[in-house]
Amino acid sequence: MGKKRKTQVFVLKPWCWYCEREFEDEKVLLQHQKSKHFKCQLCPRKLNTAGGLMVHSQQVHKCEPEPLTNTLPGRDGYDIEIFGMEGVPTNALAEWKARKESEAGSAAFASAAAAKRPRHSYTVIPEADLQAALAQHKALMAARDNPAPLMQFTFPPASGMPPFLPPGIAPGFPPNFPPNMAMPPPTFAPAAAPGFAPPPGFVPPFPSSGAPAFPGAAQVPLQPAAFSSATPPRPSPAQVLPVGNETNKQTAVTTDVLPKDGVMWPDTAASPAEKRALQGRYRYTSPTPDGQAMALEDIAAGRKRKAAADFL
């Protein structure tokens, strides 16, 4: 009988009025209130009560305090002084008690009901239930004997979209296609189609056919580049930057000034971006001869061509 009595004895744990959380003892509750609700947002100070926080804000920071943090709606005011369980409004306390009692009561009732429930049911199992159980069992066994091909995809071969393109990889089509072009042209090389899954964040390579001759420095008339990944002014695939290749950073090109005395960038002559632009992987040489060193371009293009060839 002692066991049964224990379930019926109702103990009200200390709880926080601001967020209605229960705590094992009052000490933890005080800690919680200090760190969650009575923390000054302007400095690391934690106060013991709402009033304390208000006085602190007014005297130290000379400003009206922010509403209390992490509280339930409507309980972020400073008008009620609460310290642990002291000062909790009586009606709120009564309400909480009633709620806990009913919860405990229903829990006790449920557990009592569970205890009383017969272990075995001697009633006749309805036919329909048996049927359902049988069907379920059959399905289960069938699934075990003959594993269903869950990931069975069949792709129409004419589809321009690359199969197995994981979501989140940008195919590079602007979402608003011109209405007369329902199907985007295949921007992926056919050889790369089946099972070709570029790494995340990878920009697809560009077909050499779609790139118009680069028009140089002069203003060009508006040219259709409807499919951004296909036809912006790009000289040739050889100019494609080896993107997404974080490992082969060519830091040797730049003469970085190393951090000294904790200053990360002591170089006052050039910005990090300028130094970065000198790295081989970012080097850009204009396709139009405008006095650029052609030898440099050849080197860069050769390297880039190799990188681009990997993707085709």
Partner 1 sequence: MSTGDHSLQPPADGISAVVFSPDSTRLLVSSWDGSIQLHHLVAPPQPPAIFPHPAAVLAICFGSSPTIAFSGGLDKRVRQWDFETGQTRVLGKHDDAISCMVWSAEYNVLITGSWDSTIKVWDPSAEIPLRSTQTLPSRVYNLSLAASTSTLLVSMAHRHVYVYKLPELAAVQEGQPLRPSQERESALKFMTRSVACMIDGKGWASGSIEGRIAVEYFDPDPATQSQKYAFRAHRQQVDGVDCVYPINALAYHPVHNTFASGGSDGFISIWDHSAKKRMKLYPKYPTSISSLAFSPDGSKLAIGASYEHDNAVNEHDRGTIMLLVKDTVMEDCKPKAKA
Residue with smaller CB distance to partner 1, 108 or 270: 270
Alpha-carbon gap, residue 33 to 215, rounded angstroms: 68
With CB under 8 A as the rule, give the number of residues binding partner 1. Answer: 71
When binding is defined by CB under 8 A, the residue of 22, 95, 101, 256 that contacts partner 1 is: 256
Whether the CB-CB separation of 205 and 190 falls below 8 Å is answered with: no
- Does 244 bind partner 1 (CB under 8 A)? Our answer is yes
Residue with smaller CB distance to partner 1, 119 or 260: 260
- Does 185 bind partner 1 (CB under 8 A)? Our answer is no
When binding is defined by CB under 8 A, the residue of 51, 160, 163, 171 that contacts partner 1 is: 171
When binding is defined by CB under 8 A, the residue of 113, 191, 213, 258 that contacts partner 1 is: 258
Residue (of 80, 92, 58, 71) closest to 18 by Cα position: 71
In the structure encoding, which two tokens stand for residue 30, read together? 């005080």
When binding is defined by CB under 8 A, the residue of 31, 58, 102, 248 that contacts partner 1 is: 58
In the structure encoding, which two tokens stand for residue 186, read together? 């295949």
> For 50-79, b where at least 16 C-beta lie within 10 A, e where not — what string?
bbbbbebbeeeeeeebeebeebeeebeebe
When binding is defined by CB under 8 A, the residue of 107, 133, 243, 309 that contacts partner 1 is: 243
Residue with smaller CB distance to partner 1, 35 or 228: 228
Residue with smaller CB distance to partner 1, 92 or 232: 232
Whether the CB-CB separation of 231 and 214 falls below 8 Å is answered with: no
- Does 128 bind partner 1 (CB under 8 A)? Our answer is no
DSSP conformational letter for 183:
S
Please return the burial class of 223, using the count of CB atoms within 10 Å of its CB with bins 0-12, 13-18 and 19+: exposed
Sole window of 102-110, 138-146, 155-163, 240-248 interacting with partner 1 (rule: CB under 8 A): 240-248
Residue with smaller CB distance to partner 1, 130 or 277: 277
- Does 81 bind partner 1 (CB under 8 A)? Our answer is no
Cα dihedral angle (49, 54, 56, 57), rounded to 10 degrees? Answer: 140
Residue 45 carries which side chain, given as an amino acid letter?
R
Residue with smaller CB distance to partner 1, 182 or 263: 263
- Does 63 bind partner 1 (CB under 8 A)? Our answer is yes
- Please, what sign has the CA dihedral across residues 170, 172, 176, 179? negative
Residue 48 carries which side chain, given as an amino acid letter?
N
- Does 37 bind partner 1 (CB under 8 A)? Our answer is no
Q: Shortest Cβ distance from residue 66 to partner 1 (Å)? A: 7
Q: Shortest Cβ distance from residue 264 to partner 1 (Å)? A: 4
- Does 35 bind partner 1 (CB under 8 A)? Our answer is no
Q: Considering only the C-alpha atoms of the chain, give the largest distance between any 2 of them, rounded to a whole number of Å.
A: 100
